[in-house]
Structure 1
């Protein structure tokens, strides 16, 4: 009878350890992925916030709520931040390896489609 209880305890302990491993494993293996995803999401959300702030700033200037000097200074500041974020995004895109032959083929197909669309649109008028 004692052998069964010892086997049962070992089996239960192993089962508990496996469950803990399955529950805690994602917290350790996905950290690098989550930090990378959050970084990209932060820059995109920052850019969106800055662009909406620029729109609000322009609206407030047109409503004469802020002075021309303040408008120019704030606009320059926000635009420079947006430009830096866009440059970072462009560098990330350039750093990714892209098949240039495939991109050239896609661009030529787009151009052909645009030309045929223009010809069809011009022929109907």
Structure 2
């Protein structure tokens, strides 16, 4: 009988701690610790929404639903916002993109050399 009360106390304590965690967890922003790249994802989502809106504005202009003056104003506004987001994305990714581009260019050069050598051998 003594063993049952110890087991029930351990089970009750575990249940209480689980309930306490579930109640208090929404008060903490765990996603800031788990998602280090969330700002970049937010920028990409915002940029995608702005590009979609820009396409819709262009479609409405072609369908003569908005005036040319409104079209020019809205297009300039959204293009400015998209450019700002692209600059922020570039600042965040910065050196990673440069390294990646250098690596890609190197691979392209190697492929071109091997292609030229293969063509030379065929002749």
8 Å CA contact retained: 2:40, 2:92:
no
Greater relative contact order structure (CA < 8 Å, 6+ sep): 2
Deviations 1:28-85 (A, max 9, x none): 5833135655433322111111111111111221222211111111000000000011
CA separation of 1:15 and 1:41: change in aligned 2, threshold 3 A: same
Aligned to 1:91: 91
Aligned to 1:7: 6
Aligned residues: 118
- Indicate which of 86, 105, 108 corresponds to 2:106: 108
CA separation of 1:119 and 1:57: change in aligned 2, threshold 3 A: farther
- Partners of 2:113 and 2:71 lie apart in 1 by 42
- Partners of 1:73 and 1:108 lie apart in 2 by 43
Unpaired stretches in structure 2, ≥5 consecutive residues: 119-123
Unpaired stretches in structure 1, ≥5 consecutive residues: 121-125
Q: CA RMSD in A?
A: 3.8
CA separation of 1:11 and 1:38: change in aligned 2, threshold 3 A: same
CA separation of 1:68 and 1:110: change in aligned 2, threshold 3 A: same
> Offset of 1:14 from its aligned partner?
3.3
